[in-house]
Amino acid sequence: MSDAPTYRGRFAPTPSGPLHFGSIVAALASWLAARSRNGQWWLRIEDLDRQRLRPDAESSILNTLEHLGLHWDGPMLRQSERLVHYQAALERLLREGLAYPCGCSRADLVEGCYPGTCRSGLPEGRQIRSWRFRVPDGEVTFIDRIRGELTIDVAHSSGDFVIKRADGYFAYHLAVVLDDALCGMTDIVRGADLIDSTPRHILLQQALGLPTPTYAHTPVVLGDDGRKLSKHLGAPPPVLSDPGTVLHDALSFLGQRPPAALRSAAPARVLAWASENWDEAVIPRLDQASERWH
């Protein structure tokens, strides 16, 4: 009998700054999705892009999760320690003709889509800058547990995408797909800002013979200016002084109805209520017609 978990999820922050309210919402949703199913919840630090790292961000993130009572299972992983897996996958894709070296830069994209200039070899005089995944023709359809069925034609929206960058770093898309599969993730819950990436991840999973987990993309928290909060800009919520209220607010944002009496309660009490009453069906979803969360 296999001892594979029936549910294993994760939170995968980039240590580019302290967690803001939007990243706490995503962490809480993935924690609750796991705990409400008696599943595991792992933590992975996505520290590949050294340019984006901020000193102390990792310790601040861990401290915030601990204050909120969002405890994780398994070993904490750091992507910077897993380069050997990414390199092996890149070599396999190259061997199988599913990836190729590319000499183009952003300036060569046409309306955000790579036109395939280096698909059948580098043009004369171009040097290798990056490596791209060869995207097959056709649409990718998947069911998002919050948004429902989504279909994207990757070949026409982004085209062949970078899996190892010109600056030498492995791209997020390759690393996330390998880590989720190698760590046995069954269910991914993350912010909807990443929803456009999911079809690319599914294509990479298929090319590498890896299983596709289920996906749920939680609504993005917008700042007063109507833009997504970012780790280095957003004001940090009062996690240290009042973690119960932060959890209460995050639950309300996710459409849950925590009792008012739990506001400011100890995190363990708020989380016990939330694990018991977690309901993915009431999470606000994007209205495709108006492109607004409601």
Q: Which residues bind ligand GLU (CB under 6 A)?
A: 12-14, 46, 176, 190, 194
Cα 157 to Cα 166: distance, rounded to the nearest angstrom: 21
**Min dist. Cβ of residue 229 to ligand GLU (A):** 11
Task: Using the minimum distance from each CB to ligand GLU, give the nearer residue, 13 or 234.
Answer: 13
Of residues 13 and 267, the one with the C-beta less far from ligand GLU? 13
The answer to whether 43 and 76 have CB atoms below 8 angstroms apart is yes
Find the shortest distance in angstroms from Cβ 196 to ligand GLU: 12
Least CB distance to ligand GLU at residue 239 (A): 17
For ligand GLU, the closer of residues 78 and 263 by Cβ is 78
How many Å apart are CA 179 and CA 170, to the nearest integer?
A: 12
Q: How many CB atoms lie within 10 A of CB 107?
A: 5
Q: How far is the CB of 189 from ligand GLU (least distance, A)?
A: 8
Residue 61 vs 265, nearer CB to ligand GLU:
61
Is there a contact between 186 and 174 (Cβ–Cβ < 8 Å)?
no
Nearest alpha-carbon partner for 57 in 16, 26, 22, 25: 16
CB atoms within 10 A of CB 29: 28
Check residue 139 and give left, alpha or beta (phi > 0: left; psi -120 to 50: alpha): beta
CA distance 227 to 230: 9
In whole angstroms, give the CA distance from residue 160 to residue 118: 10
Q: Kindly list the catalytic residues.
A: 231
Provide, rounded to whole angstroms, the least separation between the CB of residue 257 and ligand GLU. 26
CB of 201 to ligand GLU, least distance (A): 8
For ligand GLU, the closer of residues 10 and 164 by Cβ is 10
| C-beta closer to ligand GLU: residue 29 or 194 | 194
Task: Judge contact between 275 and 33, C-beta under 8 A.
Answer: no
Query: Which DSSP symbol is given to 230?
Result: -
| Selection from 139, 293, 148 nearest residue 216 by Cα | 148
Torsion of CA 11, 180, 255, 59, to 10 degrees: 10
